[in-house]
Structure 1
Amino acid sequence: MAQRLLTSGIRAWTRMPVTGRIAIIYLCARLITTGFLVMASALSSPASRFGMQPTIGEYVLGWDARWYWWVAENGYPSQLPLTPSGDVAENAWAFMPVYAYLAKIVGLGDWGAGALLITLAAGFLACLALHRLLRRRIGAAAAMWAVVFFANGPLAALFQVGYAETLFLLLLLVAIDLASRHRYGFLYFLIPVMGFTRPGILAFALFLGLHGIARWVRRRTEPLPVRDMWHIVALGALATIVGFSWQVIAAFVTGDPGAYLKTELSWRRNWLADPSPDFFPFEGFVRGAEFWFTQWGMPAWAGLIALIALVTGAALALLNARSVQRLGVDIRLWSASYLLYLLAVFFPQSSTFRLLLPLTPLVGALAVPRSRTYRWGMLLACLLLQWLWICAMYSLAQTYWQVP
C-alpha cells in the first residue's frame, strides 16, 4: 500500500508542469526560511542589533534595506556627509535606485511590503530562470536539484528581506541565458536595468567581451553572423557606459568627481584603521587578506599566500573541474568575470558571502552527481548553513563580522 502511494506520488510529481514543481519547491523553501527567522527572533538578545524578539518585518527592513528605504523616501544627497575627521561618511550613493524606488511603487507607499513582494517574486522567477539556463546543459533532473539547492541555500534569507540581490540575480540569469542563446536584442533593455539595480554590470561587460572572443574562436564550427558581432560589441560598450555612469551622476549631483568611490571606500573604515583615501584596483582584497589573518593571530604574509591559493584554486576549478565544464563556456566565463570583478573592487568581509550570489549558475555543478544520498546530504548542508547564516546575521548581529 505504502509502495503504491509512493509510486503514484512520484508519477504525479513527474507529470506536473515544471513551473508547478518549482513553485512547490520554492514555497516549501520559503516556509523553512520563515521558520528560521522566527527561531532567530526568539534567540535574539538585547545585545543584538535588532533587540529582543524582533518581528520578521524588522528583519525585512534591517541592515542595507534601511539604505534602500532612505533612497526611496529622501533621494540622494547633493552634499556628501563628512565624518568629524573630514572623510566622506557612509551615505546613500552606494545604493542603486531601481530596487529602492520600485519597492515604493509596488508597495503603494509601504516600502517594506513592496520590498518583500519584489524579493519573493524575483526569487521565484530566478528559480525558473536558473532551471531554464541549466536544463539543456546538465539535464532536467539535475537542473531541478540545482533549483532545490538554490532555493534552500545558505543565503536563502535574501529571498525574504529588503535587498536588491534577488532582483539583480533574476535579471542576470535571464541575461546570461539570452547571451548563450545568441538572442542579443533584449539585452539592450536588461543591461541598463541591471546596472542601476546593484553594482556588477562591469563584470557583465567583461563577460560579453570574453563571450565575443569565444564565439570568434569557434566561428568555424559555430557560425558568427556579422550582426551578432555588432550586437556583442555594442552591448559591451553599453554595459561599460552604464557601469561608469553612476559615478558620473554622483559627481554631477554632488560636485565631487570622486563622490561614488569615496562613498564606497567609507565602509572600509569599519575594518581598517588607515584605509587608502583613493581607490586602487585589487587593493581591497590584498589589504583584506592581511587584515583578517592578523585578526586571527597569524602574520599578514600568510593572508597573501592564502589569497593566491584561493585565486589559483578558483581558476583551476573553472578550467578543469568536470562538473563545472558541463555547465558550458558562457557560465564559466561569467563566473570568471565576476570573480575578477570582486577581486578588483571589493574588500573581503562578512558581506562577501552575499556578494557571491551572482555566481548562482555554478550551483549546477553541485547538482550533477546523481547519488540520492549525496543530493539529500547536500540539501541538509544547505539548510544547516542557511540557519547558521541567519543566526549570525540576524539573531546575534553584534559585531563587525556579522554584517550580511
Structure 2
Amino acid sequence: MADEPLTDADTEHSAWARLPAAARVGVVYLLARIVTTVFFLMAANLSGFESRFGPEAGLGDLVLGWDSRWYWIIAEVGYPSQLPLTDSGVVAENQWAFMPIYPYLAKYVSLPFGGQWVVGAFLVSVAAGFGASLVLYRMLRDRIDAGSSMWAVAFFAAGPLAGLFQVGYAESLYLLWLFLALWCVMRRRYAWLYLLIPLMAFTRPGVLAFALFLGLFGIWRWISRRREQLAGPEIVQIVALGLLAVLMGFSWQLLAGWVTGDSGAYLSTELAWRRNWIPGDAAFAPFEGFLAGIEYWFGTVWSLTPPIGYVVVGASLVALTAVLLFEPHVRRLGVELRLWSASYLVYLLLVFFPQSSIFRLLVPLSPLWGAVALPRSRLWRVGVLVAGLVGQWWWIYNMYALGNTNLQVP
C-alpha cells in the first residue's frame, strides 16, 4: 500500500514525490479501499443464519447495515413529529439521534442512480473519506515532513476503522468538515469556520467538543500572545466562533423539542440506545454515562468490582494526558491538534456510555496518526500498517460477518 518513496521524506526527485499531493493521496486511498472491499466481500461470504445480515448477504446489505438504516429512514420519511414509545411507555429508538446532512446528501447523490439511497451513501462516504485523507495530509504537512504525512494518511485510510469509508455512516463526511476546521484554526483562517461549524453540527454529534477546543485554544493564544501576536479582531473571532459552536451544539436538541413538543426529545432518544445494555430509564447527567459504563463492564460483565474500573480508567486518563503533554512525536503536531484531542476526550467522558461503538467514536482523534508515523523505522511503519489492516479485518468480521449481539455494534 505504500511503496519505497513513501518511507523516505528526502526522495524529492523520485517519480512518486513529483506527483501532486492529491494524486499520491488518491493512490494510497484507492489501494486501501480495494483492501477494504475484499474484507467486506469476505465478511458477506462468512455471514450466516445467526448474523443480522443472513447467509445471502451482499455488499449493499453491509453498506446499509446497522445505523445506516436509520439514515436511510431519514432520507425516505424524515423525522417523527411524535416520539415512538416502547411497550413500557419510554421513548424508543428513533431518527432524532441522527443528524440530517448525510442522509439527505446521499439521497441527492443517488438520484442519477435511480434513487437507490445505498448507492448515494456509498459514494458520499467514499468521496468524503478521500477528501478527509487529502486534508489530513495537508494539515500534517504544515507540521511534519512529507513522507511521515503520507504514512499517516496510509494508517488513516487503511486503519482499524477504515470500513467506515464504505458504509452508510456519517463519520467520513464529519471527518472532512472536522479536518478542514482544524486546518483553518492552524492557519488562522477563521472565516471558513462560520460555515464548517454548522456543517459539523448537523452531520453528527460532537460540535460541543469543538466549542471546548476553541475555548482552550483562545486561552492558549492569550497566554502565548508574546510569541505570536494576538490582535483584537482575532480575539473577537475566537469568542464568536466558540459561541456559535455552543449554539450549534444545542440547536438540534432545541429543534427536536420544537418539532415533537417534548423538550427532552433528543436526550430521551439517545438514552433509548443505552437500554440495550442497562435496562431502565436513566436521566442524562455529565459523566453519568461513563461512570455507569464502568460499573456495568467491570461489575456486571467482567465480574470484577467497580473500584478496579475506576483505577484502570483513571490510570488510562493520566497516561493519555501525559502523552498529549509530553510525548515528543505528539508535540511535533502542534498545540492545536493536541488541544483538539484533549477536548474530544473530555467530551466523550461527559456524554458517552462506553460500549462497542467506542472504537468508532475515537476516529475523530485520527490527526494523531501523524505522531505514529513520525518514527522513520521502516519496520515500525510497516508493522503499524499491518496491525491496522489486521484490526480492520477484526472489526469488519465482528461487526458485519457476525454482527448479532450488543457487543458487535459498530
Instruction: Name the TM-score class by shorter chain.
Output: over 0.9
* 1:126 to 2:170 alignment: no
Contact 1:43 1:53 in 2 (8 A): no
Q: Secondary structure at the match of 2:190?
A: coil
Q: Secondary structure at the match of 1:208?
A: helix
**Residue matched to 2:274:** 268
Instruction: Write the distance in 2 (CA, Å) between the matches of 1:274 and 1:168.
Output: 31
Q: Secondary structure at the match of 2:275?
A: helix
Deviation at 1:402, TM superposition (A): 0.1
**Residue matched to 1:188:** 194
**Residue matched to 2:102:** 99
Deviation at 1:302, TM superposition (A): 1.4
**Residue matched to 1:387:** 393
Q: Secondary structure at the match of 2:28?
A: helix
Matches within 5 A, 1:117-266: 117-266=123-272
Q: Could you report, residue by residue, the CA deviation over 1:302-321 in whole angstroms, capped at 9, with x for unpaired residues?
A: 11221211211111111111
Deviation at 1:275, TM superposition (A): 4.8
Deviation at 1:111, TM superposition (A): 1.2
Instruction: Write the distance in 1 (CA, Å) between the matches of 2:27 and 2:18.
Output: 14
Instruction: Write the distance in 2 (CA, Å) between the matches of 1:285 and 1:320.
Output: 26
Instruction: Write the distance in 2 (CA, Å) between the matches of 1:216 and 1:181.
Output: 17
* 1:18 to 2:24 alignment: no
**Residue matched to 1:89:** 92
Instruction: Write the distance in 1 (CA, Å) between the matches of 2:56 and 2:164.
Output: 20
Q: Secondary structure at the match of 1:344?
A: helix
Deviation at 1:97, TM superposition (A): 0.4
Letter aligned with residue 290 of structure 1: E
**Residue matched to 2:37:** 34
Q: Could you report, residue by residue, the CA deviation over 1:122-154 in whole angstroms, capped at 9, with x for unpaired residues?
A: 011111100011012121110000001001000
Q: Which consecutive residues of structure 2, in runs of 5 or more, have no partner in the other structure?
A: 5-10
Deviation at 1:14, TM superposition (A): 2.1
* 1:312 to 2:318 alignment: yes
Instruction: Write the distance in 2 (CA, Å) between the matches of 1:312 and 1:77.
Output: 43
Matches within 5 A, 1:230-379: 230-276=236-282, 278-294=283-299, 295-379=301-385
Contact 2:293 2:353 in 1 (8 A): yes
Q: Could you report, residue by residue, the CA deviation over 1:285-334 in whole angstroms, capped at 9, with x for unpaired residues?
A: 11101111120121222112212112111111111111111111000000
* 1:116 to 2:122 alignment: yes
Contact 1:107 1:113 in 2 (8 A): yes
Letter aligned with residue 111 of structure 1: W
Q: Secondary structure at the match of 2:407?
A: coil
**Residue matched to 1:68:** 71
Contact 2:90 2:281 in 1 (8 A): no
Q: Secondary structure at the match of 1:138?
A: coil
Q: Could you report, residue by residue, the CA deviation over 1:176-196 in whole angstroms, capped at 9, with x for unpaired residues?
A: 000111100011011111100
Q: Secondary structure at the match of 1:198?
A: coil
**TM-score, reference length from structure 2:** 0.95
Instruction: Write the distance in 1 (CA, Å) between the matches of 2:105 and 2:46.
Output: 33
* 1:47 to 2:50 alignment: yes
Instruction: Write the distance in 2 (CA, Å) between the matches of 1:187 and 1:217.
Output: 23
Deviation at 1:43, TM superposition (A): 1.1
Contact 2:139 2:183 in 1 (8 A): yes
Letter aligned with residue 145 of structure 1: W
Contact 1:26 1:151 in 2 (8 A): yes
RMSD of equivalent CA atoms: 1.4
Q: Secondary structure at the match of 2:53?
A: coil
Contact 2:200 2:207 in 1 (8 A): yes
Instruction: Write the distance in 2 (CA, Å) between the matches of 1:399 and 1:186.
Output: 42
Letter aligned with residue 14 of structure 1: A
Size of the alignment, in residue pairs?
Answer: 397
Deviation at 1:364, TM superposition (A): 0.7
Q: Secondary structure at the match of 1:54?
A: coil
Instruction: Write the distance in 2 (CA, Å) between the matches of 1:34 and 1:359.
Output: 24
Instruction: Write the distance in 1 (CA, Å) between the matches of 2:251 and 2:43.
Output: 40
Q: Could you report, residue by residue, the CA deviation over 1:255-287 in whole angstroms, capped at 9, with x for unpaired residues?
A: 1111100100111100013452x1100011111
- Give aligned-pair identity as a percent: 58
Q: Could you report, residue by residue, the CA deviation over 1:322-351 in whole angstroms, capped at 9, with x for unpaired residues?
A: 111111100000000000000100100001
Contact 1:205 1:240 in 2 (8 A): yes
Instruction: Write the distance in 2 (CA, Å) between the matches of 1:296 and 1:305.
Output: 15
